[in-house]
């Protein structure tokens, strides 16, 4: 709430717990004459808009692009995207406050998402989260967030470091992870998801239908059913 | 006898490139499909009996047949917003066999006569979206996408759209709103997406795994595919097993095998010396089952009959070292965070459930609180536009029903541990002791 609230407060909008600034006019679509937009950002937003029958579909990809440039969805970033897309800043604000990956307050250049959902927490994600937070403390360039299920429960507990999935991790890995990140090295290369084979050792040799289990007992655990 | 359909040779080096995929017989199924009429392809899909792998388990062929015909632009959307806790099968398929998915999309679009398609991939899957982007570019250059595919006269565009982190966007109408550039709030149904979906046009929405299976169905023929699995749950399914098991990961199984075989045989069961306390058969939204239910055949109807659901096909195993309250709390907090806030029962119900569970831990709760939680869950279920609230209500209610003594013991212990309440000044409090 606070992140969203601050962004809204900056924009002068009210909320359920703050009065609206009644004197202030709602922001209109920014004037291209008075809104300088970096050429690279303009190009990315325009090429995203060209992909869809309705150009507004490009709003989230455009905000992603602006966030990459500015570090977060700052009022300036929103204004620039709004100018190119010809929508109001409020419209984009409504998106930035909805989606978890769009930052609504100044964030570091690096983001570390630690998955703390059920499968990861069963395997020690809360301890991992505490260790990563401790290792990253006092570093304004690294933003650590506890994130909802990142879809990598096979390497639980895990983290996504600037979009790179690594796991399984232990609290002891936290300082190494942060050191790799600060030094610009690949993060824990041997534990990156990209290099992991499928867990099923028989994925290549299994045939269906399976032969009926011996003794035809439906309830018996079956081992080695390649 | 057929080989694993989805995970076969999944780790073949370079399978994500067009060259290797074609070498291994890739896009042959597409050629076969393009030589047939859309109605013929549809009848193969219907004959296969394949049910959607995203969670609802609706028959894919039926879904395609709901799309209206005529001179109107139709859309196909692939739901790759895999966010159901415990599910990671689509991730592996997209990352390692992106062309299998693209081929499935082109075939399904042919059956549905759709001319534009989108893959909505969750923003966190950076690697997978990059792989898909590269694969789409390759497929387009080779003529499998774009205008007049392989000289068939059928055209299809495909855009990989990246989300930005919201569980609700996995719900099909929330996904459509998000894809249109809005907040991902679910829509009122009907109209269903088949009639009025993306940009108000008829839209076919399918999960990654469902679409990735389509080439195999075309290759084998729908009737042959339907021989796999059991009568009402045909085919094979990739199951994600996670939590307290020794070998978490994706396993392709024929639907209908005993759940025990999946959890113990394939995933290795819980660590040495521990026993299974409960397990979610279909992601964190499914009501929990216990060790007594391990012989339930793993297919849509048998799991439903056991009082739960197959959902996205993600098994989460919880062993006896974990307090049930911790599991309930994690879940409730997740759904509270992900509720989009559009419907009151879900927005308020998830938040109040968290607060009441916290009371149990702080020693303030009485056994009656468990009944209140159950009643809140009852009031959420079926009363919202989408099933996000139900997805919290069903597992929490099932935990309270199945582990009530443990909740009560926890409550009692916390109550005894809690500091004595501050002395009440005379006339200050009512008769609530």
Q: What is the pLDDT of residue A213?
A: 46
- Reported confidence tier of residue B254, pLDDT bands at 50, 70, 90: very high
Residue B232, chain A, CB below 8 Å: the answer is no
Domain shared by B124 and B178, yes or no: yes
Phi, psi of A98 (to 5 degrees): -90, -40
Which tens digits make up the pLDDT trace of B88-109? 999 999 999 999 999 999 999 9
Q: What is the pLDDT of residue A12?
A: 56
Secondary structure class of A194 (helix, strand, coil)? helix
CA distance A77 to chain B (A): 16
Q: State chain A's maximal CA–CA distance in angstroms.
A: 81
Considering CB atoms only, which of B85, B123, B326 is closest to A119?
Answer: B85
CA distance A88 to chain B (A): 13
Asked whether B113 and B38 are in contact (CB, 8 A), the reply is yes
Q: What is the pLDDT of residue A18?
A: 75
CA distance B18 to chain A (A): 19
Domain shared by B194 and B139, yes or no: yes
Q: What is the dihedral of CA B141, B74, B51, B145, to 10 degrees?
A: -10
Q: Whole-angstrom Cα distance, residue A163 to residue B164? A: 12
Which tens digits make up the pLDDT trace of A136-170? 988 999 999 999 999 999 999 999 999 999 999 99
- Show residues of chain A in contact with B96, CB under 8 Å: 198
A139 Cβ contact partners less than 8 Å away, ≥ 6 residues apart: A108, A178, A182
DSSP string, B8-56: TTTT-TTTTSHHHHHHTTTTHHHHHHHTS-HHHHHHHHHHHTPBPSSSS
Domain shared by B97 and B183, yes or no: yes
Residue B13 lies in a domain: no
Domain shared by B29 and B161, yes or no: yes
Asked whether A143 and A110 are in contact (CB, 8 A), the reply is yes
B397 Cβ contact partners less than 8 Å away, ≥ 6 residues apart: B287, B373, B374, B377, B378
Q: What is the pLDDT of residue A209?
A: 61
Architecture of domain A110-195 in this structure: 3-Layer(aba) Sandwich (3.40)
Domain shared by B182 and B53, yes or no: yes
**Domain tally, chain B:** 3
Q: What is the pLDDT of residue A14?
A: 63
A20 Cβ contact partners less than 8 Å away, ≥ 6 residues apart: A12, A13, A14
Segment B229-246 shows an average pLDDT of: 96
Residue B352 lies in a domain: yes
Which tens digits make up the pLDDT trace of B269-292? 999 999 999 999 999 999 999 999
Residue B2 lies in a domain: no
Q: Which two tokens stand for residue B155?
A: 């055209």
Q: Whole-angstrom Cα distance, residue B21 to residue B102? A: 11
Q: Is the dihedral of CA B194, B197, B201, B203 positive or negative?
A: negative
Domain shared by B135 and B86, yes or no: yes
Q: In chain B, pLDDT over 90 holds for what percent of residues? A: 93
Residue B374 lies in a domain: yes
Segment A70-79 shows an average pLDDT of: 95
Q: What domain range includes position B341?
A: 324-417
Segment B244-260 shows an average pLDDT of: 95
Q: What is the pLDDT of residue A13?
A: 60
Which tens digits make up the pLDDT trace of B116-171? 999 999 999 999 999 999 999 999 999 999 999 999 999 999 999 999 999 999 99
Domain shared by B210 and B300, yes or no: no
DSSP state of A55: G
Chain center to CA of B335:
15
Which residues are paired to B241 by β-bridges?
B249, B315
- Reported confidence tier of residue A215, pLDDT bands at 50, 70, 90: very low
Strand bridging mode A207-208 / B289-290: unpaired
> How many interface pairs between A and B have CB atoms less than 8 angstroms apart?
211
Which tens digits make up the pLDDT trace of A173-209? 999 999 999 999 999 999 999 999 988 877 766 676 6
For residue A98, pLDDT over 70 is answered with yes
For residue B34, pLDDT over 80 is answered with yes
Residue B408 lies in a domain: yes
Question: What are the CB-based long-range contacts (under 8 Å, 24+) for B219-225?
Answer: B219/B25, B219/B28, B219/B29, B219/B32, B220/B2, B221/B44, B221/B47, B222/B43, B222/B44, B222/B45, B222/B46, B222/B47, B222/B48, B222/B49, B223/B47, B223/B48, B224/B2, B225/B47, B225/B48, B225/B49, B225/B50
With tokens 């997978």, the residue in question is B128
Residue B426, chain A, CB below 8 Å: the answer is no
Domain shared by B154 and B255, yes or no: no
Secondary structure class of B390 (helix, strand, coil)? helix
Q: Break chain A into its structural domains and give their ranges.
A: 2-96, 110-195
Higher-pLDDT residue of A222 and B364 is B364
Instruction: Choose the weakest-confidence range: A8-12, B16-20, B24-28, B235-239.
Output: A8-12
Residue B276's CATH number = 3.10.20.600
Considering CB atoms only, which of B124, B161, B295 is closest to A151?
Answer: B124
Strand ranges, E, within B106-199: 116-121, 157-162
Residue B184 lies in a domain: yes
Q: Whole-angstrom Cα distance, residue B113 to residue B274? A: 53
Instruction: Choose the weakest-confidence range: A6-15, B12-21, B73-82, B301-310.
Output: A6-15
Which residues are paired to A144 by β-bridges?
A112
For residue A1, pLDDT over 60 is answered with no
Residue B386's CATH number = 1.20.1440.230
DSSP string, B223-247: HHHHTSEETTEESEEEEEEEES-SS
Last-in-domain residue among B319, B351, B373:
B319
Average pLDDT along chain A: 86
Domain shared by B115 and B101, yes or no: yes
Which tens digits make up the pLDDT trace of B192-219? 999 999 999 999 999 999 999 999 999 9
Residue B395 lies in a domain: yes
Q: In chain B, pLDDT over 70 holds for what percent of residues? A: 96
pTM: 0.91
Q: Whole-angstrom Cα distance, residue A152 to residue B405? A: 33
Average pLDDT along chain B: 94
Q: What is the pLDDT of residue B423?
A: 60
Residue B6 lies in a domain: no
CB contact (8 A) between residue B334 and residue A225: no
Q: What is the dihedral of CA B235, B241, B246, B249, to 10 degrees?
A: 80
């Amino acid at each position: 709430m606070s992140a969203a609230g601050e962004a809204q407060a900056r924009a002068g909008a009210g909320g359920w717990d703050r009065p609206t600034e009644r004197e202030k006019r709602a922001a209109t679509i920014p004037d291209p004459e008075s809104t300088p937009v970096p050429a690279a950002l303009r190009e990315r937003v325009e090429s995203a808009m060209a992909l869809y029958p309705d150009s507004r579909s490009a709003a989230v990809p455009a905000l992603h692009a602006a966030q990459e440039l500015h570090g977060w969805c700052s009022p300036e970033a929103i204004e620039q995207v709004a100018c190119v897309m010809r929508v109001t800043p409020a419209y984009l604000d409504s998106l930035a406050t909805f989606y978890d990956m769009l930052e609504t307050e100044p964030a570091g250049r690096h983001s570390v998402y630690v998955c703390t959902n059920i499968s990861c927490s069963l395997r020690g994600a809360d301890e991992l989260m505490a260790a990563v937070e401790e290792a990253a403390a006092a570093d304004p360039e690294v933003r650590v967030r506890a994130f909802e299920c990142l879809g990598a429960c096979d390497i639980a507990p895990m983290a996504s470091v600037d979009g790179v999935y690594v796991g399984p991790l232990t609290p002891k890995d936290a300082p190494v992870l942060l050191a790799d990140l600060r030094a610009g090295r690949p993060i824990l290369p041997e534990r990156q998801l990209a290099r992991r084979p499928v867990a099923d050792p028989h994925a290549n040799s299994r045939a269906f239908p399976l032969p009926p289990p011996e003794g035809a007992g439906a309830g018996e655990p079956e081992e080695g059913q390649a | 006898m057929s080989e694993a359909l989805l995970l076969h040779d999944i780790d073949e080096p370079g399978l994500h490139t067009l060259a290797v995929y074609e070498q291994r017989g890739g896009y042959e199924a597409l050629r076969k499909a393009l030589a047939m009429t859309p109605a013929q392809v549809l009848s193969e899909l219907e004959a296969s009996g394949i049910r959607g792998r995203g969670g609802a388990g609706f028959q894919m062929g039926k879904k395609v047949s709901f799309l209206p015909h005529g001179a109107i632009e139709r859309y196909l959307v692939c739901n790759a917003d895999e966010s159901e806790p415990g599910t990671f099968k689509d991730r592996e398929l997209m990352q390692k066999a992106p062309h299998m998915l693209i081929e499935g999309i082109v075939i399904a679009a042919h059956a549905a006569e759709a001319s534009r398609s989108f893959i909505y991939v969750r923003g966190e899957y950076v690697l997978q979206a990059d792989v898909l982007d590269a694969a789409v570019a390759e497929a387009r250059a080779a003529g499998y996408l774009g205008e007049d595919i392989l000289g068939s006269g059928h055209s299809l565009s495909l855009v990989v759209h990246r989300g930005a982190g919201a569980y609700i966007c996995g719900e099909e109408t929330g996904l459509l709103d998000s894809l249109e550039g809005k907040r991902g709030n679910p829509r009122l149904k009907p109209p269903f997406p088949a009639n009025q979906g993306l940009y108000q046009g008829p839209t076919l929405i399918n999960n990654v795994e469902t679409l990735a299976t389509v080439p195999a169905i075309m290759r084998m023929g729908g009737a042959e595919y339907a021989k796999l699995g059991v009568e009402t749950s045909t085919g094979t399914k990739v199951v994600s097993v996670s939590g307290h098991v020794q070998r978490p990961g994706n396993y392709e199984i024929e639907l209908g095998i005993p759940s025990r075989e999946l959890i113990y045989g394939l995933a290795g069961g819980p660590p040495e010396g521990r026993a299974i306390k409960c397990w979610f058969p279909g992601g964190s939204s499914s009501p929990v089952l216990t060790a007594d239910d391990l012989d339930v055949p793993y297919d849509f109807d048998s799991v439903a009959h056991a009082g739960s659901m197959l959902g996205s096909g993600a098994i989460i195993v919880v062993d006896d070292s974990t307090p049930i309250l911790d599991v309930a709390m994690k879940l409730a907090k997740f759904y509270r965070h992900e509720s989009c806030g559009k419907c009151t029962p879900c927005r308020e119900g998830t938040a109040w459930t968290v607060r009441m569970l916290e009371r149990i831990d702080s020693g303030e709760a009485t056994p009656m609180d468990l009944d209140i939680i159950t009643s809140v869950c009852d009031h959420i279920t079926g009363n919202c536009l989408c099933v996000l609230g139900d997805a919290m209500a069903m597992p929490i209610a099932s935990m309270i029903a199945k582990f009530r003594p443990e909740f009560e013991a926890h409550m009692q212990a916390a109550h005894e541990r809690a500091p004595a309440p501050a002395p009440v000044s005379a006339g200050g409090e009512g008769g609530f002791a």
